[in-house]
Amino acid sequence: MIVSVTADAPHSTSEAVLAAAAEHGLTARMLPDGNGGAAIGISGVVPLPGLQLPGIGEIKMVHKPYMLASLEMRPASTVMVGGVPIGNGEPVLIAGPCAVEGRDELIEAARAARAAGARLLRGGAFKPRTSPYSFQGFGEEGLRHLAAAREETGLPVVTEVMEPDQVELVAEYADMLQIGTRNMANFPLLKRAGQITKPVMLKRGFASTIEEWLMSAEYILAHGNPNVVLCERGIRTFDPTFRFNLDLNAVPGLKELTHLPVLVDPSHGTGQRSLVARMALAGIAAGADGLMIETHPDPAHALCDGAQTITPAELARIHRTMLAMRATIDEQFADEPLVLDPIVLSA
Amino acid sequence: MIVSVTADAPHSTSEAVLAAAAEHGLTARMLPDGNGGAAIGISGVVPLPGLQLPGIGEIKMVHKPYMLASLEMRPASTVMVGGVPIGNGEPVLIAGPCAVEGRDELIEAARAARAAGARLLRGGAFKPRTSPYSFQGFGEEGLRHLAAAREETGLPVVTEVMEPDQVELVAEYADMLQIGTRNMANFPLLKRAGQITKPVMLKRGFASTIEEWLMSAEYILAHGNPNVVLCERGIRTFDPTFRFNLDLNAVPGLKELTHLPVLVDPSHGTGQRSLVARMALAGIAAGADGLMIETHPDPAHALCDGAQTITPAELARIHRTMLAMRATIDEQFADEPLVLDPIVLSA
Amino acid sequence: MIVSVTADAPHSTSEAVLAAAAEHGLTARMLPDGNGGAAIGISGVVPLPGLQLPGIGEIKMVHKPYMLASLEMRPASTVMVGGVPIGNGEPVLIAGPCAVEGRDELIEAARAARAAGARLLRGGAFKPRTSPYSFQGFGEEGLRHLAAAREETGLPVVTEVMEPDQVELVAEYADMLQIGTRNMANFPLLKRAGQITKPVMLKRGFASTIEEWLMSAEYILAHGNPNVVLCERGIRTFDPTFRFNLDLNAVPGLKELTHLPVLVDPSHGTGQRSLVARMALAGIAAGADGLMIETHPDPAHALCDGAQTITPAELARIHRTMLAMRATIDEQFADEPLVLDPIVLSA
Amino acid sequence: MIVSVTADAPHSTSEAVLAAAAEHGLTARMLPDGNGGAAIGISGVVPLPGLQLPGIGEIKMVHKPYMLASLEMRPASTVMVGGVPIGNGEPVLIAGPCAVEGRDELIEAARAARAAGARLLRGGAFKPRTSPYSFQGFGEEGLRHLAAAREETGLPVVTEVMEPDQVELVAEYADMLQIGTRNMANFPLLKRAGQITKPVMLKRGFASTIEEWLMSAEYILAHGNPNVVLCERGIRTFDPTFRFNLDLNAVPGLKELTHLPVLVDPSHGTGQRSLVARMALAGIAAGADGLMIETHPDPAHALCDGAQTITPAELARIHRTMLAMRATIDEQFADEPLVLDPIVLSA
């Protein structure tokens, strides 16, 4: 159940609701509603003598299974990553190499990305690779390089975490932790990511439904971390033409279901450099809150994913066009809401 | 093999090449190359004494299996539909109801679509339906209503043809014939559509690869009709959230492989009214030459597909935004070509 | 609605029900129930004063959308093909080359197939090919060769029909018409196949759901032809390892939903000769009523599909094992019914 | 590269090869070849003065990317699980409840499974669940119950491990560790499972290709654990009729590529009790080395997965039929090898 608490409710009211849930052995999490009040999501039904408590608003008994992630819990969220807002209406660009290579190389890549318009730096220190014989990333050394690049450029950094016991280590260095497509349903990892407060970017499993994706976000939220950002990165289909197929239906679809910000990754979503610019723009047109794009000063010599990596010059062009295009769209869609009839998934 | 014929070649040169192919029992089709010359695609290898003929240009022995549809044959084509160009750089809007309902209703719908910016009218007279017990369309009467709506509004009309023996009938009334997703690999239908000269809009089979789609276009081209327009309309994936998933990767992907214009249908590609505007804009951002959208003055009472049908007012907003957005993109991408490294499919 | 008519009902009762349906403009089709009585499926609701008619049994208002194909209409059907029963408990083997090659070659292939245990001969005269430049079959000449091979061997023949106007022609020569995977939703073809009485083998669309498949069978049944046999032939998945993936879940799944016999085609369902025997046996273990297998005296030189074609010697081994294995299974599963809880699809 | 070492080679030969690999910073693992000799797989190329070493056999420079798992490394393996062989030609039955419920309940379930023919007991102590609010298993207490059930029945036990840090704990109690479908590409977990010697059952990711699956097995093998068993458990397709679609093509397909034993799980592979028996038998006919089936004395009251869980009585029937059927098949296929032309995946 979801219990709304009004902006003028005394602190004791939410305390009482949380206590009642705990008494029944239920999980309860409170999120601000963006208007001064809050909503409390409870993993079951608590008989609320609380109805008499001051400041109790609406009580929803029927809601989505991903209660905390749903729009029934609160309107659109903004997640702050090292001072950069994601979800506040301005599309954000995250860029950088697939893998952290060396300290100097990364700093150079970060400077180029910043100059091209990027607000956040990406780069992998721990790399999930299909083959045990492939390069597996520089590990903690890579994390230190990321911190150095942040120091030099001021760009907050995003990097992948692959196992529960790495969560604290990665959170020490990174401004946002990335959970990759192959780990979207790694529940122990999600739980541990729920126990920190650093933001988490949860990429979609390449064969996961929208509902499963939101349930995975719910794991993080239910364990206490409200700072979750979703990232569509391509799904696996019957067509081997592309490495993956970017599923942009998911972007406006998610906007009807969840308050969490939504990014799009056209690099993995196409697997091919020549498609990145077009699909980046398409992602923004579809309503994404930002883009994550693999860039490298010299894509042909990138340590991994070179085929889908673009140059900083191309990145700059995407950035300019993205901003202009978004302004154009916002102008036309300012007056009336875009959404007409919401998607109904199983309740 | 593909034989280029220069702009200043005498008529006798192409005649000789075509005759040589016929002599070897091969199919040969000539398409203008857009620069005054032409290219002749031959379904096999002809030993060309033609090398000595005046005006023979490049001879390509290695090319895509969909030779006539490929960029190796010629650069981007424009297809004229009742006076409206598709593929000339201006995005075109095709709109109208799923099914033709009645004469007056269709004229009203056509007027509303035109007022909202549509340049072509769509409407189904023959309807492919999953159930034998569902409404199957008004047939020839529906075709007459389409002709009447064109008369009233000046909008050329597009309508579906479902079987080989309907091709001539539908071509009598329509300005462009639509071959639907379930018929993309209906080879007898493709052959017959290749024997007329009216343009054909070939929708993608919902589980067909890019290569299979282009091979189906090749059927039409190889049988003599050069006027083919492709339309991405959503693929079937593992995720039942949406009726279909619009595959926008296909749009820039096709632009690297074929000269044929590419449309996007966000109505079938989402199955849900509330996603249509966003995915329409995403389609344009991805590089589509136009959109096909289901509209109805009163979607709630449409004879079919009401759930994915939008109102003319919504259509007008999409039209305005599409034009402004496209101008913005063109400005940024004017100087340098968008395409970087072409997709390589099996040769 | 489905109206049961008892074995002892006078002829006038079913006549009255059919007349009542016709009066309401509804489609009505009668199938024997296998016990002397019959069931009448009506495409809507008829207010039945018929309740007072003698011999009216159960009236079902709620049933599957593929009413006539459903188990609610009647228990398991047997379809007779040129004297050979399909669905009577004895698994049947259909074999022959992908394409009819020449008269003598086909007779040789037919003799070899018969010697290996085949009860029916397959061979394509009209071939659906992805490329317009590939061999498209020998057409009517191929049909004559099939008739000649039947004459010589006594094997009834099965061959594909690709367009509505070919139905009568093919029915003149063939004992069973095949509708291929790309035509499963070719509704004009299904309608025409419903207007003959020769049996029709309906292959599953490679990306069609079980429900869509049964709706396509319903088209044939609703237009008057009760002799429909289903054939699972592999679906398209994300894994390019195999040409297609044989979906054997469909076999016991269909047995809970439909009375129509179910065949399995392990040749197309794998695309690879070395997997055919194992997947043929798996199909029988899953409960199929028979197998359709591509064989050729010299697979390496077959005109098409050689990679998935086996020799007659291999076919004979499959036949022997299939019979022995089926006897073993029947022995263990004789006492109690196999089916536990039926699948519930949308009603 | 793969270096064969003959049966009569002195110990110093393999020592020298391993040392040479280590010197070059490469991973090298030795597996017995089943004939007294061995093969050493090296993750790169070592210039072998070893060619002069006594007892060096064939050296393969070209092989599958999953070198250690491939048939190029050795012929079919048998993996021993608590004294029970998997892969030796006798199909093995693994059965038990989805989740461990209580000590007494598990012992009862284990006795029933053993009486029905099961040779190994399954039961989940750590349960991956889509929702954070669902029952997550009894954890270590569940492991103790499994050990108690083994004590009582003599059945070795199989249970799931979900994170790297649980590997040692689970290995203390279990005879075989299961890595579930959502963790097939959890590389840190695979690495840790490679550092123990207890057998590991690696289930296929529900959207993973055959090649990705074998690469995941390679992770375990490359980290030192040779005891890997594969388990096909259903893939995700476009058809929502079934929870998953059992991909039996994978069984004979794997037999051409890998020496590892292959099991089939018809419970998850169908999601539906009524299909389990048929698909279990189909799995055996396809060539599986055994079955893993969810059973419960009272499926309707199972803590999870009740819909796909069968009773011990049904299990017994499957067991009897499986053995009889396998004998029948073996008889027919004894003389000649089943496999004809091997599958060629990318090298």
Pick from B65, B128, B187: CB nearest C187: B128
For position A89, what pLDDT does the model report? 92
D237 to chain B: closest CA residue? B238
The pLDDT of residue C304 is 86
User: How far away is chain B from the Cα of D240, in angstroms, using its nearest Cα?
Assistant: 7
Task: Give the pLDDT confidence of C232-279 residue by residue, as tens digits.
Answer: 999 999 999 999 999 999 999 999 999 999 999 999 999 999 999 999
Q: What is the pLDDT of residue A149?
A: 98
Name every chain D residue with its beta carbon within 8 A of the beta carbon of A236: 207
pLDDT value of residue C34 = 85
Burial of C104 (0-12, 13-18, 19+ CB in 10 A): exposed
Confidence of residue D332 (pLDDT cuts 50, 70, 90): confident
Instruction: Using alpha carbons, list the distances in angstroms from residue C262 to A29, A110, B131.
Output: 53, 61, 21
Percent of chain B scoring above 90 in pLDDT:
88
The whole-number pLDDT of residue B10 equals: 93
pLDDT tens string D77-127: 999 999 999 999 999 999 999 999 999 999 999 999 999 999 999 999 999
Q: Please tell me the total count of domains within chain B.
A: 2
Per the model's pLDDT, the better-predicted residue between D294 and B51 turns out to be D294
Per DSSP, the three-state class of C5 is strand
Instruction: With CB atoms and an 8 Å threshold, state whether B130 touches C27.
Output: no
Average pLDDT over residues B143-147: 98
Distance CA C120, CA A295 (A): 61
Model ipTM value: 0.94
Residue B344 confidence (pLDDT) above 60: no
Give D53's pLDDT tier (boundaries 50, 70, 90). confident
Higher pLDDT, D336 or B141: B141
CATH number for A92: 3.20.20.70
DSSP state of D258: B
pLDDT band at A52, cuts 50/70/90?
confident
A83 and A54 in one domain?
no
**Torsion sign (Cα): C199, C28, C342, C89:** negative
Give the residue from D94, D126, D86 showing the smallest Cα distance to D110: D94
d(CA A287, CA A254): 10
**Could you give the CA distance from residue B58 to residue B61 in angstroms, rounded to a whole number?**
10
Nearest to D132 among A133, A222, A238 (CB): A222
Contact D133 A43 (CB under 8 A): yes
Chain C interface with A: residues with Cβ < 8 Å: 207, 236-238, 240
Q: Which chains touch C (3 or more CB pairs under 8 A)?
A: A, B, D
C59-83: pLDDT as tens digits = 999 999 999 999 999 999 999 999 9
Q: Which has the higher per-residue pLDDT, D2 or C51?
A: D2
* Of the listed ranges A319-333, C225-239, D174-188, the one predicted with least confidence: A319-333
Whether C50 and C90 share a structural domain: no
Q: Is A51 domain-assigned?
A: yes
Spell out which residues of chain A touch residue B283, defining contact as CB-CB under 8 Å. Answer: 282
Residues A290, A165, single domain; the answer is yes
Q: DSSP alpha helices (H): ranges in A81-204?
A: 103-115, 140-153, 167-173, 187-193
Q: Do A207 and D206 touch (CB under 8 A)?
A: yes
Q: Which of A207, A236, A238 sits opposite C236 (nearest CB)?
A: A238
- At C335 the pLDDT is 59
Q: Which residues of A touch D (CB under 8 A)?
A: 27, 43-44, 65, 128-133, 136, 162-165, 182-183, 185-191, 206-207, 212, 215, 218-219, 222-223, 236, 238
Looking at per-residue pLDDT, the higher value among B36 and D52 belongs to B36
Contacts of C240 in chain B (CB under 8 A): none
Asked if D131's CB is within 8 angstroms of A215's CB, the reply is: yes
Note the pLDDT tens digit of each residue in A267-323. Answer: 999 999 999 999 999 999 999 999 999 999 999 898 888 899 999 999 999 999 999
Considering only CB atoms, which chain B residues are within 8 Å of D237?
A: 238
From CA A274, how far away is CA B339, in angstroms rounded? 5
Res. B347: pLDDT tops 90: no
Q: Please, which pLDDT band fits residue C338 given cuts at 50, 70 and 90?
A: very low
- Comparing A248-252, D202-206, D239-243, the range with the smallest average pLDDT is D239-243
Residue B114 has φ and ψ, to the nearest 5°, of -60, -45
SS3 of A253, please?
helix
Q: In what order do the strands lie in the sheet with D2-5?
A: D28-32, D38-42, D2-5, D56-60
pLDDT for position D209: 97
Please indicate, yes or no, if residue C65 is contained in any of the structural domains. no
Q: What is the mean pLDDT of residues C326-345?
A: 67
The residue type at B220: I
Angle A176-A178-A182 (CA atoms, 0-180°, nearest 5)? 170
A-to-B residue pairs, Cβ atoms closer than 8 angstroms? 167
pLDDT of residue C83: 96
Q: What is the model's pLDDT at position D339? A: 44
C263 and C325 inside one domain: yes
**Average pLDDT for chain D:** 93
Place of tokens 């340049």: B119
Residues of D in contact with B237 (CB under 8 A): 238
CB D112 within 8 A of CB A6: no
| Separation CA B259–CA B251 (nearest Å) | 12
Contacts of D236 in chain B (CB under 8 A): 238
Q: Report the pLDDT value the prediction gives residue A333, as an integer from 0 to 100.
A: 78
Contact between C240 and A236 using a beta-carbon 8 Å cutoff: no
For residue B247, list chain A residues with Cβ-Cβ distance below 8 A. 237, 239, 245
- pLDDT > 70? residue D246: yes
Q: Which helix (H) or strand (E) holds C60?
A: strand C56-60
Q: Comparing A183-192, B31-40, D259-268, which segment has the lowest mean pLDDT? A: B31-40
Instruction: Among A281, A289, A308, pick the best mutation site for testing chain B contact (most B Cβ within 10 A).
Output: A281
**How does pLDDT run across D139-160, given as a tens digit for each residue?**
999 999 999 999 999 999 999 9
Residue C148: its H or E element: helix C140-153
- The chains found to touch A (3+ Cβ pairs under 8 angstroms) are B, C, D
% of chain B with per-residue pLDDT over 70: 95
pLDDT at C52 over 80: no
Q: Are D215 and D43 in contact (CB under 8 A)?
A: no
Q: A222-272: per-residue pLDDT in tens?
A: 999 999 999 999 999 999 999 999 999 999 999 999 999 999 999 999 999
The answer to whether the CB atoms of B238 and A269 lie below 8 A apart is no
Domain boundary among B60, B90, B108: B60
Do the Cβ atoms of B183 and C186 come within 8 Å?
A: yes
**Could you tell me the two tokens for B4?**
């280029």
Residue C70 lies in a domain: no
In this prediction, residue B337 carries a pLDDT of 52
What value does the mean pLDDT take over residues B303-313? Answer: 91
> Is C340 in Cβ contact with D273 (below 8 Å)?
yes
Kindly state the average pLDDT of the residues A104-110.
Answer: 97
Indicate whether C88 belongs to any domain.
yes
Which residues of chain B are within 8 Å of residue A252 when distances are taken between CB atoms?
274-275, 278-279
Calculate mean pLDDT across residues C33-58: 86
B182 and B284 share a domain? yes
Q: State which of D60, D91, D108 marks the end of a domain.
A: D60
- Residue numbers in D near C211 (CB within 8 A): 241
pLDDT of res. C47: 82
CB contact under 8 A, A236 and D129: no
In this structure, are C93 and C56 located in the same domain?
no
To test the contact with chain C by mutation, choose from D64, D71, D209, D241 the residue with the greatest count of C C-beta atoms within 10 A, namely D241
Q: Tell me: the pLDDT tens digits for A64-90? A: 999 999 999 999 999 999 999 999 999
With a CB cutoff of 8 Å and minimum separation 6, the contacts of D303 are: D97, D98, D99, D101, D135
Chain C residue at shortest CA distance from D329: C321
**Cα angle value A325/A328/A334 (rounded, 5°):** 130
Q: Assess whether C174 and C299 both reside in one domain.
A: yes
Residue B217, token pair as written in the block: 């276009």
In a domain, D342, yes or no: no
Contact C185 B65 (CB under 8 A): no
Residues of A192-203 as b/e, b for ≥16 C-beta within 10 angstroms?
bbbebebbbbbb
Are B237 and D236 in contact (CB < 8 Å)? Answer: no
Q: Which domain holds residue D139?
A: 79-332
User: Is residue D115 included in any domain, yes or no?
Assistant: yes
Distance CA D196, CA A269 (A): 37
Q: Whose CA is closest to D293, among D306, D283, D280? A: D280
Question: Does position C167 have pLDDT exceeding 70, yes or no?
Answer: yes
A22 and A125 both lie in a single domain: no
Q: Are residues A53 and A160 in the same domain?
A: no
Residue A343, pLDDT above cutoff 60: no
Asked whether residue B278 is assigned to any structural domain, the reply reads yes
Average pLDDT over residues B101-119: 97
In contact, C145 and C100? CB cutoff 8 Å = yes
Same domain, D277 and D199: yes
Do C19 and C147 lie in one domain? The reply is no
- Same domain for D16 and D136, yes or no, is no
Instruction: Supply the mean pLDDT for chain A.
Output: 93
HEC string of chain B equals CEEEECCCCCHHHHHHHHHHHHHCCCCEEEEECCCCCEEEEECCCCCCHHHHCCCEEEEECCCCCCHHHECCCCCCCCEEECCEEECCCCCEEEEECCECCCHHHHHHHHHHHHHCCCCEEECECCCCCCCCCCCCCCCHHHHHHHHHHHHHHCCCEEEECCCHHHHHHHHHHCCEEEECHHHCCCHHHHHHHCCCCCCEEEECCCCCCHHHHHHHHHHHHHCCCCCEEEEECCECCCCCCCCCECCCCHHHHHHCCECCCEEECCCCCCCCHHHHHHHHHHHHHHCCCEEEEEECCCHHHCCCCHHHCECHHHHHHHHHHHHHHHHHHHHHCCCCCCCCCCCCCCC
Separation between Cα atoms, residue A319 and residue A339, nearest integer Å:
26
Identify which of C62, C75, C47, C76 has the alpha carbon closest to the alpha carbon of residue C262.
C76
Structure tokens at D342: 């091997």
Residue A126 has pLDDT above 60, yes or no: yes
CB-CB under 8 Å, C163 with B130: no
pLDDT at D346: 41
Instruction: Kindly report the nearest CA distance between residue D207 and chain B, in angstroms.
Output: 10
The pLDDT of residue B338 = 47
What percent of chain C is predicted at pLDDT more than 90? 88
Q: Nearest to residue D207, comparing CAs of D242, D237, D179?
A: D237
D71 within a domain of the structure (yes/no): no
Question: What average pLDDT does this structure show over B196-225?
Answer: 98
Residue A337, pLDDT score: 52
- pLDDT tens digits, C90-139: 999 999 999 999 999 999 999 999 999 999 999 999 999 999 999 999 99
Residue C142 has a pLDDT of 97
What sign does the dihedral D84-D87-D92-D94 (CA atoms) show? positive
Is residue D43 pLDDT above 80, yes or no? yes
